[in-house]
Structure 1
Amino acid sequence: MSNKNYKYIIDVDTGIDDALAIILASKTLREKVIGITTCGGNVRLEDATSNTLKVLDLARWDIPVYAGASKSIENSEFVHAYDYHGTNGICDVQIENNRKPENLAADDFIIETAKKNEMVIVCLATPTNLASALKKNKEIARNIKVVYIMGGALNVPGNQTEYAEYNFFQDPQAVRIVFENIKDVRIIPLDVTNQCIISDKEAALIRVVTPTDKFIKEAITNWYRFFGYPKKRQFELYDPLVVSATDNKNLLSFSDVKIGISVDGIKEGEIFLNGKYSVKIAQKVQTNDFKNYLLNNLDIVTGNDVS
């Protein structure tokens, strides 16, 4: 795939890993991204939008933000994850923000952009905004050349239920709409994101040189304090891996598969093989290369080599 003329939209529900991904994108995709859309999910829509604007200010990235869905495509409530992301969604780090989102809704922004441009959409949230745009205007699918989605769990347990990963559990109908309409969907599932972590010791070694360094160190340290240590969990770099994969094609190995998704019942949000939708799914990740890529592009300096 040649991306040279494609316009990028990043879709987020900005919790802590989205925040890191936005900072990373400000370094690696700055000239390609024309807007960010927000969705409820990790946090309520208003918090996702506010957090996105705060992080963009921190990263000194002046691009427009469009607020989108506060509920699923079928109008059910999202299950938020403040226990994981902190009371404000970015691990209780305080950032000032004076910016406002655009008046245009996220799905309408996607439609208007796709009418005029060939596009790549990077979904770090459940893809409700994209599904809503496709429901309103299916013709835009021809110009949406690639969709990257952080979601799904193929050969590992889910992180929302035994069967389902969080994003796909939130709105499986939206996921199905994307599968039905977009020819090139690339899924980055828990199978690979679970392998990409930053430990508390690694975070402690981050030297605070810039405001983004300070935010990243404080946020990850806070996360370990209120969630990681009590739950005996490591901090997985879900969304930063997806953004990295859009820029560096050597980090992930994708396989062409036919999958399905369960849209209701006990297995709601589960993906499974031998379905009817043709997608590419990441099944291998170069973990050391990813970590080096991440630290280098975030301009993070550590006390020693953390690879």
Structure 2
Amino acid sequence: MKNILLFADPGIDDSIAIMYALLHPEINIIGIVSGYGNVDKEQATNNVAYLLHLANQTNIPIIGGATRSCTGEYPVYYPEIHGKEGLGPIRPPDTIKGELLNFSEIFNLVENFKDIVVVDVGRNTSLAVAFILDDKFGEKIKEFHIMGGAFFVPGNVTKLAEANFYGDPVASNFVMTQVKNITSVPLNVTNKAIITKSQIQEIQNASSSPLIKILDKVYDYYLQAYQKLIPGISGAPLHDVLTLSLLMNPDMGSYLKRDVDVQIFGEARGESIADFRVGSEEKESTTKIYLSLDYQAFIHDFMTIMSK
């Protein structure tokens, strides 16, 4: 059983990742840090509360994260991908509102649980703040898993940058350069984590979970957005789900250990940089970068967990 502190900004992809975590028998979500990203903080929080309500797991604390990036800029949202409310066509009932705990609850959880794994599938602002408020925070966490970056492949918001790193490059560079024991799950592998509509339908036919009842509507909106972005794509890539899936199944892909920097300014803003030259592996690094994926293993894991 893994004790996971999840940082998220749901968003469709984040929401499906939360569903996966809630349904996984070997994941114990000890808290969800809700912040800006795909939608604003308030809407993200209501989406988290709605998913916890559907899963009948409202005992999981929701912690208030950041409202904007360390750059000071106001966030840019992507309703064409995630919908105005972040769940595609679905609007959580007005009766369900997320009640946020103070950010300090993160540090209470760290004291009360052992072997905590931090998973950040959103902008890295809130995670950076945790280190700023407690410089010993990293020593109390077993490992960190970050969905972010792009190596050897184009970005998805610019020609160089992946969305999470681009959204707050200051925080991402801080996290990637200062934090030990990070596993980076970049677009190299997440772009390959494609789930098709027929697979979603198969899951719905197999599961009676209230979470799964909304899965097709959420997924269809996401798929239509990707079909406009990438004509001919067979399905929608679930970037954030893969981050959790690789955490639970680390042999499902291969990785190299390299230090990572994130560009902060200019045209290269948000670009993730690592040295993959022959001989560079001699430099000790604690950062793992996934570069390949066993796609069939991922499909099997996703279908199995989501169909429970």
1:16-31 map, 5 Å: 16-28=12-24
Q: Match for residue 36 of structure 1?
A: 32
Alignment of 1:143 with 2:140, yes or no, is yes
Partner SS, residue 71 of structure 1: coil
Distance change >3 Å, CA 149–CA 31, structure 1 → 2? closer
CA RMSD of aligned residues (A): 2.2
Q: AA paired with 2:298?
A: F
Q: Match for residue 98 of structure 1?
A: 96
Give the deviation of 1:119 after TM superposition: 2.2
Counterpart CA distance in 1 for 2:263 and 2:171 is 12
Deviations 1:200-235 (A, max 9, x none): 34435554552222211121123334x234332541
Give the deviation of 1:59 after TM superposition: 1.8
1:1-307 map, 5 Å: 7-28=3-24, 32-62=28-58, 63-96=60-93, 98-105=96-103, 108-115=104-111, 117=113, 118-208=115-205, 209-210=207-208, 211-225=210-224, 227-231=225-229, 232=231, 233=233, 234-274=235-275, 278-299=286-307
Partner SS, residue 69 of structure 2: coil
Q: AA paired with 2:96?
A: N
Partner SS, residue 121 of structure 1: strand
- Larger CA deviation: 71-80 vs 45-54: 71-80
Counterpart CA distance in 2 for 1:137 and 1:272 is 27
Counterpart CA distance in 2 for 1:119 and 1:199 is 33
Give the deviation of 1:75 after TM superposition: 2.2
Deviations 1:64-112 (A, max 9, x none): 111210101232222211110012111112443535323312xx23233
Q: Alignment identity in percent?
A: 28
Runs of 5+ consecutive residues of structure 1 not aligned to the other structure: 301-307
**Number of corresponding residues:** 293
Counterpart CA distance in 1 for 2:119 and 2:198 is 30
Counterpart CA distance in 2 for 1:138 and 1:172 is 20
CA contact (8 A) 2:21 2:27 kept: no
Give the deviation of 1:241 after TM superposition: 0.6
TM-score by length of 2: 0.88
Distance change >3 Å, CA 189–CA 200, structure 1 → 2? same
Counterpart CA distance in 2 for 1:292 and 1:110 is 33
Counterpart CA distance in 2 for 1:241 and 1:171 is 21
Q: Match for residue 304 of structure 1?
A: none
Partner SS, residue 250 of structure 1: helix
Give the deviation of 1:162 after TM superposition: 0.4
Deviations 1:117-162 (A, max 9, x none): 4421000101111101111211122112211000000110000100
Partner SS, residue 151 of structure 2: coil
Distance change >3 Å, CA 80–CA 266, structure 1 → 2? same
Counterpart CA distance in 1 for 2:249 and 2:57 is 21
